[in-house]
Structure 1
Amino acid sequence: MSDAFPIIRLRSRGGLPVARDGVVFSFFIHRNHEEVFSAVWRALQTYLRAVPPKSLNWYGADDGDTLPLDDKGWEVIREKMLERPWSLGCSVELSEDANEGEIAGGYQFEYHGRRLDDPFWEDPATAVSFTFPTEYLREHGPDHLRALAFKLAWELPFSFGYASLAVVAPYGYSFTSDWDLLDTLRDRYLGLDLYAVRRTAAVIGTHARSASWLTFLGQPLLGQLGGMDGLRRALPFPEVSLLPLDSQRLLISLSEWPEPIDIQQGGIPPQYRALALRLEPFLYEEPSDWPASYLYQWLRRLCP
């Protein structure tokens, strides 16, 4: 299955590498920043132990600059996440590189802590994401990534989360000049996630995003979907496994390997379609630079 993964290299208008193929884990937590910052910090430490040393080398400063993630930088991040829980929010972005080399970096951590009563956001949630280059998946295999996703999720009181093949863009898609290629990838590989965690965190609330290779359900979504028993009846496929983290949180694994869902090679796997249909009434509407009609269709791309 791993030989079916697309190889993606996107560049900026100036020729710098800005995006590549990889895997993203994203979790959305309907809690205030000060309620979850310590759990997110623990999850970050788990991620750092799992990836190669020095996988994260740069961080985004408050003034918009990108600075080296040395000992001084880590102290800035630790203080920002752990010692300022009274602030209105907290955003941390750590990345492998600063658009250097031939390929965009595959390792990235994002955290966007919110206050749910902040009127600036439409329907906010606190959000965190972790990314990996596809080579990490090929080297360690899907069982390793599934176990790591479970371990990260264990720390987090999420309402929704997922793991998926993705276009990993440490500095966002808006920098790319390869829009035609991005459109082609989007239309051909329905299992390829185009994520924007900061923007999604502003509007997702307690809603769902889409069906993915690994889909994490917390409350209230798990109850709204009929709980574990209801989901077992809705997903009677041999490839599907349901793994409870506890009575309030569940991991649904749809296949052994993440599916790129290449429509030139076949249709949508029935278990992906079934979960997408189950989630459809609970999807949110995501604002974006792309037209609203496109986003509506993309979020529902696995539905008939």
Structure 2
Amino acid sequence: MTTRLPILRVRTDYGDDYGGVVARDGLIICFFMHRSHGEVVHAVWRALQTYRRAIPHQALGWYTDHNGDYQPLDDKGEKFIQEELRDCRWPYRSSHTLEEHCNTVGGYNFEYEGYWRDGTRFMYDEDPTCAVSFTLPTEYLVEHGPKGVHALARELARELPFSFGYVSFALVAPHGLWFAGRKTVVELRDRYLGLDIYRLGATSRHIGTQARGAYWLTFLGLPLLGRLGGFEVLQRRLRFPDVSLETLPPLEGQRVLVTLGEWPEVIDTTKQERPSPQLLALGSLLEPFLYMERSGWFSFFADDVADTRRWIRRFCP
């Protein structure tokens, strides 16, 4: 069985004169690690090398410097990323992005938000958590199949001390660039319930050890897994033919991957599609542990937090 994923391109609400594509269809592989930057950065660096070996050569061609300007990822750029990411000694935050293109959104992107949890915090950071994401174009899923994506996600997870992670069909948009086309994004959000829309920087500031939602692939680590009741409770609550549960090395019993079906769910409401029972069951299980978004994402009014919270809980009872 295969699932046809829609081709999505989002441009700015202000016309092509103000920029090109700000979001496109793809997959996101994302992990949250409730540790300080210094404790996770070497694992993140190794995971980045794993990701780069899995994608086309030179698929990541650009990085952003300290001023937020795009620079080519040449030998000088490689040295910059290695020194600034792996050897960063900033007292508060380490933030880095590698992208496929500099003038439009491509399918291959890497984002990292690292925090020194024992250092100075900004006043709006309640529980900052190191976060990393790797994106893939939908074409990668078509070429390698869901098993290829599943294998890559597991290999990335091996390196990372995550509390929560996931893989989902998504609007790929580094830096949360989709916000420039939020009128179209809201339409897509309401049509495709399985479409993930993310802002890594915003979420990492306060997610702590909570969950972000229920997804095609959901990674659960400590302490969140313990709060859910452990592997045995997951087995009991997720008894569905299309659900698989597996413990992950090297810490079997402390890290679990929940897989909901062979392909990610799109859930096109215009076709009267509904979330699967297993997706709703996982959403119900995670609901008490979902984080509370502090800002409105989709409205033209920045304080419309309730709308964002409703969307995050769309698979909860």
What TM-score do you get using the length of structure 2 for normalisation? 0.91
Provide the rounded CA distance (Å) in 1 between the counterparts of 2:176 and 2:164.
Answer: 22
Q: Which moved more, 1:30-39 or 1:182-191?
A: 182-191
Provide the rounded CA distance (Å) in 2 between the counterparts of 1:267 and 1:300.
Answer: 15
Residue pairs, 1:74-89, within 5 angstroms: 74-85=78-89, 87-89=91-93
1:232 equivalent in alignment to 2:235: yes
1:261 equivalent in alignment to 2:267: yes
Residue pairs, 1:248-287, within 5 angstroms: 248-265=254-271, 266-287=273-294
1:91 equivalent in alignment to 2:95: yes
- The answer to whether the Cα contact below 8 Å between 1:18 and 1:171 also exists between their aligned partners in 2 is no
Provide the rounded CA distance (Å) in 2 between the counterparts of 1:133 and 1:232.
Answer: 32
User: What letter corresponds to residue 213 of structure 1 in structure 2?
Assistant: W
Provide the residue aligned with 1:180 in structure 2: 183
Note closer, same or farther for the CA distance 1:3–1:214 as it changes in structure 2 (3 Å cut): closer
- The answer to whether the Cα contact below 8 Å between 1:34 and 1:86 also exists between their aligned partners in 2 is no
Q: Deviations over 1:74-97 (max 9, x none)?
A: 100000122224632211101000
Provide the residue aligned with 1:24 in structure 2: 28
Provide the residue aligned with 2:159 in structure 1: 155
Q: Deviations over 1:220-268 (max 9, x none)?
A: 1101111111001000001000111122111000110111122233211
Provide the rounded CA distance (Å) in 2 between the counterparts of 1:287 and 1:205.
Answer: 13
Note closer, same or farther for the CA distance 1:75–1:208 as it changes in structure 2 (3 Å cut): same
User: What letter corresponds to residue 293 of structure 1 in structure 2?
Assistant: A
- The answer to whether the Cα contact below 8 Å between 2:175 and 2:201 also exists between their aligned partners in 1 is no
- The answer to whether the Cα contact below 8 Å between 1:10 and 1:176 also exists between their aligned partners in 2 is no
SS at match of 1:132: strand
Provide the rounded CA distance (Å) in 2 between the counterparts of 1:300 and 1:86.
Answer: 35
Residue pairs, 1:1-304, within 5 angstroms: 2-12=2-12, 13=14, 14-85=18-89, 87-100=91-104, 104-117=105-118, 118-120=120-122, 121-173=125-177, 176-177=180-181, 179-245=182-248, 246-265=252-271, 266-290=273-297, 291-304=304-317
User: What letter corresponds to residue 257 of structure 1 in structure 2?
Assistant: W
Gaps in structure 2 of 5+ consecutive residues: 298-303
Q: Which moved more, 1:180-189 or 1:165-174?
A: 165-174
- The answer to whether the Cα contact below 8 Å between 1:18 and 1:99 also exists between their aligned partners in 2 is no
Percent same amino acid at aligned positions? 54
User: What letter corresponds to residue 251 of structure 1 in structure 2?
Assistant: L
User: What letter corresponds to residue 263 of structure 2 in structure 1?
Assistant: W
Count residues with an aligned counterpart: 300
- The answer to whether the Cα contact below 8 Å between 1:37 and 1:85 also exists between their aligned partners in 2 is no
Provide the rounded CA distance (Å) in 1 between the counterparts of 2:175 and 2:292.
Answer: 23
Which aligned segments of 4 or more residues in structure 1 are displaced greater than 4 angstroms?
Answer: none
- The answer to whether the Cα contact below 8 Å between 1:93 and 1:108 also exists between their aligned partners in 2 is yes
What TM-score do you get using the length of structure 1 for normalisation? 0.95
RMSD: 1.4
SS at match of 2:270: coil
User: What letter corresponds to residue 126 of structure 2 in structure 1?
Assistant: E
